[in-house]
Structure 1
């Protein structure tokens, strides 16, 4: 049900046309718990006639049953749709609602106030143009108010209205209102918020929501609805340089080839020069095609198909830019990362990163610092937990075009995806490219891997032994190396315990340290393969993702995964180092197989059943596979 307009009865076609072309404002409400965010949105829906009669009847019944406003309607119940929300009187999930007035259409996100739902608030704020920050007039600016203000600033929302709510409970005091304005203004200056409007309201009573309140004759600013209807949006994006991520190469027939996508910055018209990144090819816009015909100009927010005067190579994931103001291209960045998954971020683990329509591999370095979103302090951190925010360096597996998030939220934001589960585990904002991203290049060398292999008279490769502690990995690897040495094969054995005396002596046994442990060994083994060696790697290497990283570090056919498959009870029975006994006694934490998981290989090249064969037989099996593959003769 849209806002009731006189045009509906007079000229329905004109009404529908006017409604179609109204501007759209996306905004969020945020603030401390019980500041009245849901009540405010419920009031806006009610005042804009967005509540159907049956919903209103249900609201009256729910208000009497679980409401918090006595005999009055509890407008918050229009937003809190989860049973747990209604029972506790708090917002947990992000609630999106649509409403409209004569002047504008709105999508509003009611976001949770609790710190443990930071990721929910980030989700709701990611597409918002305006933030409505709620402050309880009785309590003033609280820690949670500061936290949400920081997140609003971090996420690039520059237009903020501070709704000082529950003025009816402080007798509409101008002094209290002015004190809150002063306190919040001082804090806002610290975090870079400058475009702020303050409105004294009572969401429950309706004061200064749609109509001016007679109880605040001292207030001469806009009502909340007036602000929302009139605040300009998208000015910076529309005025910026042209940007359009290519979503689809449109080729309906042999005579037409266009590039389809949504414009996320600036404007474009036929005859304008464009540059397609990351390749850097250039051309000129020929036509701007839509379902309703060609356009003379297209602007940010429109979805179009662009044809060019030249047949250039461009595909999904590329970025079309203004020819005279292209985006940057880089593969290493500093960025804010918001972690959104129950499993902690593991620095060094390969994830997927999605920017616009482009997806690529990424590894995240240890955080430079974690931000305490309550105090804004920068804290030391080895990883990021659920709902935590930190500043990290990112390394991508290929260069991408980008803008700093502060310049363009679409081309400067990203999500992080777990490779195995395809779950979104994080999100973030790009700050800038690291200078080394531009300065480091591959140096051509005269002697390459093929030349070294020819001199060695065998092919290089990695034989990666993985299994529980006590499974027999090192024993089998030692025998394999001895046999290869007898055959004249140039080898090197990387053993998990040995490298922790030097290269990895700074690492512990947390999941994050285990990931870094294997990342380093994957790099070292890759270099040794390039040197023409057969590298034998004996590590527990408990996680599939890191073993996959090691496999990807070398060429196809150069990696042999050997699962030394020993049941836990047998490995524990052997316990040559007494580690299982210590783990069972609680003297060792994060011990694989006891209180830290081991992810067995799903399809290893070799599976060694140590319960059914000797170490010598297992070594012979590895040698046979190396011969069959042509690694050795």
Structure 2
């Protein structure tokens, strides 16, 4: 029987112990190869340590990243008898907060780490805000280094209460706080021996049991066209197929579909998957579909089933700005949505969010790197956009610098930045 898959991201400020936590999780769940552990033990011994420094299981890549070799997210793959995991390990420095957008964009859960001695800091709030912006449904507050505060329950309770109140205002639906010590292993994989006042799950047990669903077939069918296949061979003289990865939903032979942005309606007459004809395709399969009518379809078009996404040139979206170059009203950019790229104008930066207070600040000065805010865009061509709340894949987009092709901003179409229970604006 195939075990379920959980994608989760880790985030935390510098020196909060995230590397040690990830290392401890991998080590104590027996997900570290023998040669890797031997290498860590050898380096630890050379540094005068009496026990393996588990942070070394991840710090090598992090050191390379901070030296400018790469600043990408590091992915770890491991499994237990109950579940398979893909861990996106994101860097802690504030200038790399933008990388959490990459790590959390596909995550079902985010682990936000804090140092028990410091409590909630600005970076903690920023990481929670990014998780809320990307609609990560489950967030774990891991209060680390409890051994350095004598495992005091009041310290944990105060930190957890503050974070839960903040995350609730952001609209995060499920928040779990766990006291732990990555250094000693308390409540990471094995229950703590020093915190008898805590009766909740360990971090690993929570990761193994948190409910997640990857059933993309419950949403309307969306197939962004990546490639038009026309072999023009003697064997298939009239073959014309439209290939792509099914972002959501289910397609069947005989289904009525609409090609966007043209709006032409037609019927599916064939589906090929892995070179073989099939009757049905389900997300996230990569398939080629054949259509009944001679419809003009090209890369960037969207083959969709009802209810159809909104077709618009005026885009309102929540965004996280990722580039050192500010984003300002009047900027000309490229907007990449699924397989379609169009020219766009930033008509307005409506506001930016103060992640400390959740207040909406003026967007007159634009957005700087790591800022979260809301923008209004005007595109040169219509886009078929779902709300990000309804469909992460067809509701998200990137803004790109047309001069050099660098990524500027990650955008989530529709709605407010966060599902506030009430509006908050500065006076």
TM-score tier by shorter-chain length is: 0.7 to 0.9
Aligned-residue Cα RMSD (Å) equals: 2.8
Following the alignment from structure 2 to structure 1, what is the Cα–Cα distance between the partners of residues 258 and 65?
Answer: 52
Q: 1:287 to 1:148 in 2, by over 3 A?
A: same
Q: Using the alignment, how far apart are the partners of 1:137 and 1:297 within structure 2? A: 52
Higher-RCO chain (CA-CA 8 Å, sequence separation at least 6):
2
Q: 2:400 aligns with which of 414, 417, 420?
A: 417
1:265 is the counterpart of 2:244: no
**Among candidates 322, 344, 352, match of residue 340 of structure 1:** 322
Asked if 1:132 corresponds to 2:111, the answer is yes
C-alpha distance 254-198 of structure 1, shift in aligned 2 (>3 A): farther
Cα offset, 1:235, TM superposition: 4.9
1:395 to 369, 378, 381: 378
1:354 aligned onto 2:327: no
Partners of 1:329 and 1:432 lie apart in 2 by 16
Task: State the Cα distance separating 1:22 from its structure 2 match.
Answer: 4.5
Corresponding residue for 2:308? Answer: 326
Q: Number of residues paired by the alignment?
A: 409
Q: Report which of the two has the higher share of helix.
A: 1
User: Which structure's CA Rg is the greater one?
Assistant: 1
Instruction: Name the CA shift for 1:138/1:292 in 2 (closer, same or farther; >3 Å).
Output: farther
1:24 matched residue in structure 2: 5
Q: Which runs of 4+ in 1 moved over 6 A?
A: 85-88
Structure with more of its chain in strand, by fraction:
2
Deviation at 1:84, TM superposition (A): 4.5
Other-structure match for 1:50: 31
The reply to whether residue 225 of structure 1 matches residue 204 of structure 2 is yes
Q: Would you say the 8 A contact 1:66–1:87 is kept in 2?
A: no
In structure 2, stretches of 5+ residues that fail to align are 417-427
Decide whether the 8 Å contact of 2:117 with 2:149 is kept in 1. yes
Name the SS for the 1:386 alignment partner: coil
- SS of equivalent to 1:365: strand
User: Is the CA contact (8 Å cut-off) linking 1:342 and 1:385 kept in structure 2?
Assistant: yes
1:447-462 equivalent positions in 2, closer than 5 A = none
Unaligned runs of 5+ in 1: 1-17, 434-633
Cα offset, 1:265, TM superposition: 1.9
Q: How does 1:140-155 map to 2 (within 5 A)?
A: 140-155=119-134
Question: Counterpart in 2 of 1:630?
Answer: none
TM-score (norm: length of structure 2) = 0.86
- For the 8 Å contact 1:237–1:408, the answer to whether it is kept is no
Matched, 1:184 2:163: yes
For residues 372 and 25 of structure 2, the distance between their equivalents in structure 1, rounded to whole angstroms, comes to 32
269 and 195 in structure 1: CA distance in 2 versus 1, 3 angstrom threshold: farther
1:166 to 140, 145, 153: 145
The whole-number CA distance in structure 2 between the counterparts of 1:104 and 1:156 is: 22
Q: Is the 8 A contact 1:30 1:148 kept in 2?
A: yes
Given candidates 361, 365, 378, the residue that maps to 1:382 is: 365
Match of 2:297 in 1: 314
Matched with 1:37 is: 18
| The one of 353, 357, 360 aligned to 1:371 | 353
**Equivalent runs, 1:224-243 vs 2, <5 Å:** 224-235=203-214, 237-243=216-222
TM-score (norm 1): 0.59
Which of the residues 160, 169, 180 maps onto 1:201?
180
Q: Which residue of 2 aligns with 1:513?
A: none
CA deviation after TM superposition for structure 1 residue 360, in Å:
0.6
Give the distance between the partners of 1:116 and 1:267, measured in 2 at CA.
Answer: 40
2:396, 2:92 → 1: CA distance?
23
Aligned to 1:426: 409
**Structure 2 SS opposite 1:81:** helix
Q: Is the 8 A contact 2:318 2:415 kept in 1?
A: no
Query: Secondary structure of 2:176's partner?
Result: strand
| Residue in 2 that maps onto 1:212 | 191
Taking the aligned partners of 1:87 and 1:402, their CA distance within structure 2 comes to: 36
CA 368–37 in structure 1, closer or farther in 2 if over 3 Å, else same: same
Q: Deviations over 1:248-280 (max 9, x none)?
A: 223333243322211222233333322221111
